[in-house]
Every structure is written in C-alpha cells, then in structure tokens.
Structure 1
Amino acid sequence: MSTDEARAAAERAARDSYGRLLALLAAAAGDVALAQDALSTAFEQALRTWPSAGVPRNPDGWLLTVARHRVRDVWRSAAHRTSVPLDDTAATATTDPLADLDPDAIPDRRLALLLVCAHPAIAPEVRTPLMLQTVLGLQAAQVARLFSVPPATMAQRLVRAKRRIATARVPFAVPDRSVLVERLPAVLEAVYGAAAATWRQDGRGLAGEAQHLAVVLATLLEDDPEAWGLAALVTFALARRSTGPFVPLDEQDATAWRGDLLAEGEAYLRRAEGPGVPGRFRLEAAIQAVHCDRRRTGVTDWSALRLLYLALDAVAPSLGARVALAAVVGRTDGPDAGFAALPPEPVPAFQPWWATRAALLAGNGHHDDAAAAYRRAADLADDVDVRAHLLGRAREAADAGSPPVTST
C-alpha cells in the first residue's frame, strides 16, 4: 500500500471517528489531555506502519488499542507515579479501566464528554471552545478563529481547562436531568459552532457529526424545544450542503437539496413547538425552514423571513442577526430601508456587514462603492470559495459602474 493511501485512510478515521475514540478513551482514563496525547500517538504510529503493513480491517479498533497502550505506559511511568496522589484510582486499581474498550461495543460517549466540558469547574468562556476541540475535533487555531482570539491564547485556555478536568476529578457521565438542563446552553453553542464551522467540508464529516450530536441531545432531553430547534437547524443546513463553488442561499438550485434531510428537519422543527416565546435556535430553525420551503414552492417568502428576523433580534440580539435583518429588509422594503436597518460599521470588521452593505449599494445603483465594499468583504472572508464569489461580485459591480464605450 502506498503512503498516500495509508494517509488517506488515517485522515478518514480522524475525520469520522476522532471524537468518538477520544470520548471512549477519556471516559475510561478520566483525563482528556492524556487521551488526546495517546490518540495522537496512535495516529502517528498508523502513518508509520500502515503503508507497509496495510490498513487494518478495523482501523478504529486498531487506533484505540494503540492509544490504550499509550495510556497504560504513562500510568506505569515513574514520572506519572510521582506526580499523582497515592490514592489515584486509575494508577492503583486492580481492574484495568481500559481493558474492555471496544469502539463497536461501547455506547457513544461523546455526549458525556460534552457535558464534562460544560461542568461548573470549567471557566464559562472556555466551555464551548473545549467541546469544539475535544469532542468534535476542531484544531485550536480553528477554534480561536471562531472566537476571534489569538491561537496561542486559545491554546493556553484549552490546556488549563483539560488540566482542570483531571485535577477536579470531573465524572465522565451523563448527569441527572436538572444538571443536564443547567449545562445545556454551552453544549448547544458547541454543536451549533461545529456545524457552522464545518458545513462546507467534503463528505458529511464534522457537519454530520454535529447533526448527529444535536439529535442525540434532543432525544435525551425529550421535550426541550431549543434542543429540537438546534437539531432542526443543523439538519436543514446539512440538507443543502454543497462542496462546489459558493453560491448564496437564495440563488442555489433548491432541487439539488436533499429531500430526506429536509423532511427530517421539518419533523424536528415540529417537535420544537411548545408554549412560550421561541428561543434563538427555534427561530433560526424557522428561518432555515422558510428558505428550504423554496424547494417546494419555487419562491422565497421574504415577508416571513422579515418577521422571523425581527423576532430573533428581539429574543437574541446579535450583530449577525441584525445584519441579516437589514439584508432581508432591503429585499422587502428596498435598499434605503435596508441601509436604515443596517447597524453602524462594526469594529473589528465583520465580513457579512461589508457583503450586505455592498449588496445594498449595488441595489441603489452606487456601483463603484459597491465594488469597493465587495472587495473589502472578500478580504475578510476565511473561505476561499466565498472570497472568489465576492471578488466576482466586485467585478460585476465595477463593470456596471463603468461608462459605456462609444464608437467615434
């Protein structure tokens, strides 16, 4: 087997199984940092041995076995024995807590690890980033970008949080319902963040993992409207995921969206119905449902979107929601009304604000200013496909603003 084939197999295992394997290992070891180190060692060994020995029939089991041995080696090391309390159960127990780890036989522990990361012993500002890195496999740099924090700063926070889990002996178990509800907001944010960060990746990948976890969480809570709202939201997003060039939502070919996932999302949204004022995730799911209904009707109900965004701005105000509201108002009431709804220029710069401003300027016929705004939005875009799309819009606006060429 070639090195490239072995690397592809290891990358596939990392993409599809990293979070599950880490959760299994961390739950048994009681130490997230140690589990991450052991799993990293396993993947490194796979890259060294699989090209010559071949990819094993059960890659997940192979990786878990190697990682388990690595954890045992650390436990047996003199350095570890002298750095842990004498009553440390993992080091002294007569029953090996790692003995029966089997990725195909043990239930999914990722939900328990998500709730561990939301434990009160963990600083609130690092709970969601920790979930994104440990359970859903995002790199520290990716997490830092999501939270507009320097990568080194985020890395330090994550290290401290994992150390805290080990020293505080946080139990790796799903707590009772009262504690579960208490920790729910941070978990919902983590799953939402993972879906938002990864939905354009090849294959189902982490976006599919986020959707799976959202459904598992909602099912466990049974009747929590916001959990079902999040399940609907990420399912709708997954249904229209595309790995090709970026196309704005209202310009996408709705017939290419996955009907099975749309129906699944609609079922989750019905389960999210309940008394009281809808929260953020129910409203965002309803917004996505309106967009996705274009597959059935052929048109977008912009008036419904305007009402939903007004409700979202009232319930969970954010810069992103207000910028999206301004874009929708520009559709329903014209560019001038859209400008009136657009919040002041944010600091630091916010890419959707510039893209929305550019579209409103183009709608008002200010093509040169629109071209400049599109270029500014492109400079701020992380996704290369989004950047290419915005630069294309900038060229279109510049061409529209150029004086016609006349013959003499």
Structure 2
Amino acid sequence: MAGSHRTSVEIDPDRDAGAHLDDIDPDAVPDRRLALMFVCAHPAINPAVHTPLMLNTVLGCTAEQIGRAFAIPPKTLAARLVRAKRRIKDARIPFRIPDREVLPARMPAVLEAVYGAHAIDWHSGGTEVRGSLTTEALYLAQTLVDVAPDDAEALGLAALICLSNARLPARFDVTGALVPLPQQDVGLWDDALIARGIALLRRAHPLGALGRFQLEAAMQAVHVARRDTGTTDWHTLRDLHRTLDAVAPSLGGAVAFAVVTAEIDGPAAGLELLDRMADETRHFQPAWSARAHLLGRLGRREDAEDAFDRAISLTTDPAERAHLATRRGAAVKPPPRRS
C-alpha cells in the first residue's frame, strides 16, 4: 500500500527538518527535498505561504529572491514567513510525510515552488551561481513527473524548464553580457533539452487538463522553433498569451502580451496596452523595461530615457542592469545629422 511508512514530528523552523525524513517511503516521493516541500503544503498552513515556505526552508532562497520572483515586496514576504513559522511552532502542526493519495491536492503549490526556483535563478544571471538553481529545478520537475506521470501540469512544468534551460548557453556572451532572445545564437541551444521538452509537452496534451505551465511551455516551444524556421510566430504567441490570461491572469503575462502585440501591430499598440495597466505596474520592473523599449522604437527619446531609468532603478541583477543601460544609450541616441 502506498505510504506504508509515515513520519510525524513537529515542524521546528529552528532545526533541520530534513533529518526527520529517514522513514520516507521512496515509492511515494523519491526525493527528500520534494517530500519536505509536500510537507510545507500542509492544509493547516496558510495556502498563500506554502510556496514561499518551500523556497525558503527547503531550497534556501532568501525573502528578497522570492519577493522579486513573485513581485512581492521582500519585507512583506519576510513578515509572512516569520508569521507562518511562528504558527507552525505554536500550533504544533505535525510534520507528516504525506501518503501518495494526498499528493495531488498539494501538487500545485509544489509545482509553483519548483517554478519559482527556476525563475529566481533565471533572473539572477549576473551571479556566480548562474544555472545552479534552475538545473536543480529541472531535476525536481522531472522527479515530479516520475511521481505523477499523468499530471498534465507536472509534465508542462518539466517541459517549460527543459525548453528554457535549452537556451542557457546562449543567454550570455563571453563577457557575461545578457543576450536578448531574438539575438541569441540558436546554434548554441541544447538540442537534447529541446527534444525532451517537446516530448513532455506532447505527453501532456492528450490528458486534457490545460494549465498555466503547459501554456508557458508552448510559448517556449514557439520561441525555440526559430532554430528551424528562422522566424518567430508572433501570432501563435499572442493566441497562447490570450489563453494564458483566461487560465491564469498575471501582471507578467499582461506585460508579455503587450510586447507580443507590439511585434504584430506596432509599438504604439503595445504601449497603449501598457498604459491601461500603468497603476498596477508602477513598481513592476518588466513593465518599465517594456515601456522603455517601445518608447525608443517610437522615437520618443526623452520618455524612453525616463522609462529606462525607472527600469534600471528597479533592477538588482548586474547583468540585466548593464543590458538596460546599453539599450538606454541606443534608444536615446539622437539620429545622425544629414549632411
């Protein structure tokens, strides 16, 4: 019977919970970190803090890193984590490794945490540990597929990380400078990871349970198809973004939709969409970066300069800051005088 061995101890945030996993049933959750992540999704813990708790206590991510990945002020997130850990301790919530039959209910939070680990590393390209956490996220995502081979979103997440990681060798040049996706050398992309990601996405499709990670993986598949076609199918990308907005709306998705729209209908159309969400995105770095780029394309140099300055002020990663500064210089450079 699944889950024939169970471990039940009190969660103590001040000691290494991993030491209490010796009796875990490897057939239920074969990786200790994943087992601990499922524990963090205990129903007595506030669902809003499940994923941050996993990232912080299991994968060692800081409140600042998690906050940036999920667009939550780090101080706000740190306070939530402190309250959650205090509640776990005061309420003596049992530290129980879940049986296989309860894993599906906890799976969404675990998937979100694995995705968060990937996103944190993806957006910290200027650090010396580049790629380590997203490689770990790929391993965890693939292990989740082993745990739940018929979970469409587990397959979608593994596909998404495969297809994203396939582009890692081309994301930075030899000097460490960030290379935007449209300018990446497709010859440097990892063919094996692309093939694996496409195969995972194809496994998910017949299951008929469309979700966010499958849609994001499909978007990555459109991007990596440029390796074979030489072009990007922006219309398909826009259709996918529309569906994503219906399934799992987010600020990041709305900004990306504006960028894709600009590629099809021109920068003014994309900027109009960004203007509609100006209040919600006033502290959202991707929105300012996109706005600056579109203003530059429209020749509105002073407005572009202000937007780039705002984007840079909201960026902590050195490589991305340098990239934005380079783009700023190109966007605000006056046109050459006619002789």
Asked if TM exceeds 0.5, the reply is yes
Percent sequence identity over aligned pairs: 49
Equivalent positions of 1:297-308 (< 5 A) are 297-308=229-240
Counterpart among 314, 326, 330 of residue 396 in structure 1:
330
1:215–1:231 contact (8 Å) kept in structure 2: yes
Partner of 1:225: 152
SS of match in other structure, 1:170: strand
Partner of 1:116: 39
Partner of 2:278: 345
2:9–2:94 contact (8 Å) kept in structure 1: no
Partner Cα distance (1:237, 1:302) in 2: 18
Partner Cα distance (1:301, 1:263) in 2: 19
Please state if 1:188 is matched with 2:115: no
Letter in 2 for 1:389: H
Partner of 1:197: 120
SS of match in other structure, 2:205: coil
Distance 1:301 1:32, change over 3 A: farther
1:355–1:377 contact (8 Å) kept in structure 2: yes
Q: CA deviation at 1:291?
A: 0.6
Partner Cα distance (1:312, 1:150) in 2: 25
Partner Cα distance (1:373, 1:153) in 2: 26
Give the structure-2-normalised TM-score. Answer: 0.83
Where do 5+ consecutive residues of structure 1 fail to align? 1-26, 40-67, 69-89, 91-96
Greater Rg by CA: 1
Partner of 1:133: 56
Partner Cα distance (2:246, 2:73) in 1: 31
Q: State the aligned residue count.
A: 316
Partner of 1:169: 94
1:292-327 Cα deviation digits (max 9, x unpaired): 111222221112111111111222111111111111
Q: CA deviation at 1:198?
A: 0.8
Structure number with higher helix proportion? 1
1:195–1:206 contact (8 Å) kept in structure 2: yes
Partner Cα distance (1:317, 1:154) in 2: 21
Partner of 1:214: 141
2:33–2:58 contact (8 Å) kept in structure 1: yes
Partner Cα distance (2:294, 2:76) in 1: 37
2:41–2:50 contact (8 Å) kept in structure 1: yes
Distance 1:377 1:137, change over 3 A: same
Q: CA RMSD in A?
A: 2.8
Partner of 1:283: 215
Give the structure-1-normalised TM-score. Answer: 0.70
SS of match in other structure, 2:95: coil
1:175-227 Cα deviation digits (max 9, x unpaired): 233x2121122111111111000133535411111111111112211111111
Partner Cα distance (1:253, 1:209) in 2: 25
1:290–1:301 contact (8 Å) kept in structure 2: yes
Q: CA deviation at 1:174?
A: 3.9
1:80-121 Cα deviation digits (max 9, x unpaired): xxxxxxxxxx9xxxxxx97x99xxxx9521121111011101
2:155–2:204 contact (8 Å) kept in structure 1: yes
Where do 5+ consecutive residues of structure 2 fail to align? 1-6
1:312–1:321 contact (8 Å) kept in structure 2: yes
Partner Cα distance (1:147, 1:304) in 2: 26
1:368–1:397 contact (8 Å) kept in structure 2: no
Partner of 2:3: none
Equivalent positions of 1:75-154 (< 5 A) are 108-149=31-72, 151=74, 153-154=76-77
Distance 1:119 1:378, change over 3 A: same
Partner Cα distance (1:169, 1:107) in 2: 21
Moved more, 271-280 or 390-399: 271-280
Letter in 2 for 1:279: G
1:118–1:187 contact (8 Å) kept in structure 2: yes
Q: CA deviation at 1:159?
A: 4.1
Partner of 1:235: 162
Q: CA deviation at 1:280?
A: 0.9
SS of match in other structure, 1:345: coil
Distance 1:158 1:283, change over 3 A: same
2:152–2:207 contact (8 Å) kept in structure 1: no
1:136–1:210 contact (8 Å) kept in structure 2: no
Partner of 1:93: none
Q: CA deviation at 1:152?
A: 5.1
2:66–2:116 contact (8 Å) kept in structure 1: no
Letter in 2 for 1:132: L
Partner Cα distance (2:279, 2:75) in 1: 25
